[in-house]
Amino acid sequence: MTSKVNIIAVGGGKGGIGKSVVCTNLAIGMALSGQKVVLIDTDFGASNLHALLGINNPAHGFQDFFKENFSDRQSLLIDTGISNLKFVSGAGDNPGSANIDADKVNTIISFIKNLEADTILLDLGPGTNFNVIDFFNISMQSVVLTTPEITSVMKTFSFIRSVLFRRISLAFQDNPEIQKLVDHSNPANADIESYTTDLLMERFAEDFPEHLDKLHTIIKNFTPGLVVNRVRSKKDLLTGDNLLKLVKKFLKLEATYLGYIIESDQVRDSVDEMVPFLIKDPQSTPSENLQQIIGSLTNADLEFVKRDGKIFVSKEVRLSSGWEA
């Protein structure tokens, strides 16, 4: 396995909130800053990431992966025309495998983990089914997206809870009683109030006190990064803080706020034109917003500048907090 490859997942429960757009532009920004990046479309049923990169029909994709005579896995890595950036499509000419089972997910996960890159960005599909969550859970860093709409905030909250409870479930795989407790598909567990980490801790304290430490460690180790997309007003900016508080109060998780992206025609137009907004105008407001997010993720200050049709990046590595003090 390649050492030190950083896997970043971009997810969030609701469909259409900008996961793919943000993931694509993050990947481009990181590649421009000099990292070797692979962008991966894990939305097998409805893969469309290639279109955001201006690629009409990807030559290969994950759906070719399970064909009998398919052996050249390297051919899945498609050139994007952007230096340092390769792309793996979720599409392919084998539509029968849109609904992939757990074994296939595991095969793909091991392929991803063995890729040679500095950073791998995973674009997740909508929803909270196990395929989506299991891809999310191979990441070391995460970008969990919401828009300011309350429906999106609630779905993103549920997404984070599903990720946490799936982690707990997998960590206690040999204990069916605990599995039952954290099974998020149980409709009785649907409300925030009726199913919180506090409640889970209480149950553990009563029934499985010997496992409480392990539970605390799982909770402590999950620190999702939050991004608010499609921000239109100062009030919308509060969404990030509100979601942080919700996640802290009900799930006991320390999430990080990574930044926001404004609602902008520049983003929408870039999708229509199949040219990522960071490439079109690296000094537009959405691009500057994206710089901030990459800065939070990589702990470096980046600035993208376009001159004579070429994009340049200036980068300043931040001092650690110890130095600044």
Ligand X SMILES: Nc1ncnc2c1ncn2[C@@H]1O[C@H](COP(=O)(O)OP(=O)(O)OP(=O)(O)O)[C@@H](O)[C@H]1O
Residues in contact with ligand X by the rule CB under 6 A: 15-21, 43, 125-126, 229-230, 261, 263-264, 267-268, 271, 286
Q: Which does 152 bind (CB under 5 to 8 A by kind): ligand X, Mg ion, none?
A: none
Residues 301 and 279: beta-carbon distance below 8 Å: no
Q: Shortest approach of ligand X to residue 324 CB, angstroms?
A: 32
Q: Shortest approach of ligand X to residue 253 CB, angstroms?
A: 22
| Segment contacting Mg ion by CB under 5 A, of 20-28, 247-255, 272-280, 315-323 | 20-28
Is residue 146 a contact point for Mg ion (CB under 5 A)?
no
Nearer to Mg ion, 19 or 60 (CB): 19
Q: Which does 126 bind (CB under 5 to 8 A by kind): ligand X, Mg ion, none?
A: ligand X
Nearer to Mg ion, 122 or 253 (CB): 122
Q: Shortest approach of ligand X to residue 49 CB, angstroms?
A: 8
Nearer to ligand X, 127 or 196 (CB): 127
Nearer to Mg ion, 105 or 218 (CB): 105
Q: Count of residues for the chain? A: 325
Q: Shortest approach of ligand X to residue 170 CB, angstroms?
A: 24
Residues 20 and 145: beta-carbon distance below 8 Å: no
The Cα–Cα gap between 204 and 93 comes to 48
Nearest to 7 by CA among 148, 115, 85: 115
Residues 92 and 64: beta-carbon distance below 8 Å: yes
Residues 243 and 255: beta-carbon distance below 8 Å: yes
The Cα–Cα gap between 323 and 6 comes to 25
| Segment contacting Mg ion by CB under 5 A, of 16-24, 69-77, 182-190, 308-316 | 16-24
Nearer to ligand X, 152 or 197 (CB): 152
Angle at 17 between CA 64 and CA 264, to 5 degrees: 115
Residue with tokens 């999950």: 222
Nearer to ligand X, 43 or 134 (CB): 43
Nearer to Mg ion, 197 or 270 (CB): 270
Residue from 14, 18, 20, 302 touching Mg ion (CB under 5 A): that is 20
Residue with tokens 């690296």: 282
Q: Shortest approach of ligand X to residue 297 CB, angstroms?
A: 18
Q: Shortest approach of Mg ion to residue 172 CB, angstroms?
A: 32
The Cα–Cα gap between 30 and 80 comes to 14
Nearer to ligand X, 33 or 284 (CB): 284
Pairing mode of beta strands 6-11, 141-146:
parallel
Q: Shortest approach of ligand X to residue 60 CB, angstroms?
A: 21
Q: Which does 81 bind (CB under 5 to 8 A by kind): Mg ion, ligand X, none?
A: none
| Segment contacting Mg ion by CB under 5 A, of 12-20, 234-242, 244-252, 254-262 | 12-20
DSSP, res 139: -
Q: What are phi and psi of 73, to 5 degrees?
A: -65, -30
Q: Which does 11 bind (CB under 5 to 8 A by kind): ligand X, Mg ion, none?
A: none
CA Rg value for the chain: 20
The Cα–Cα gap between 85 and 106 comes to 24
The Cα–Cα gap between 257 and 242 comes to 11
Q: What are the angstrom distances between the C-alpha of 92 and each of 56, 59, 152, 168?
A: 12, 7, 30, 34
Which residues in this chain contact Mg ion in the complex, by CB under 5 A? Answer: 19-20
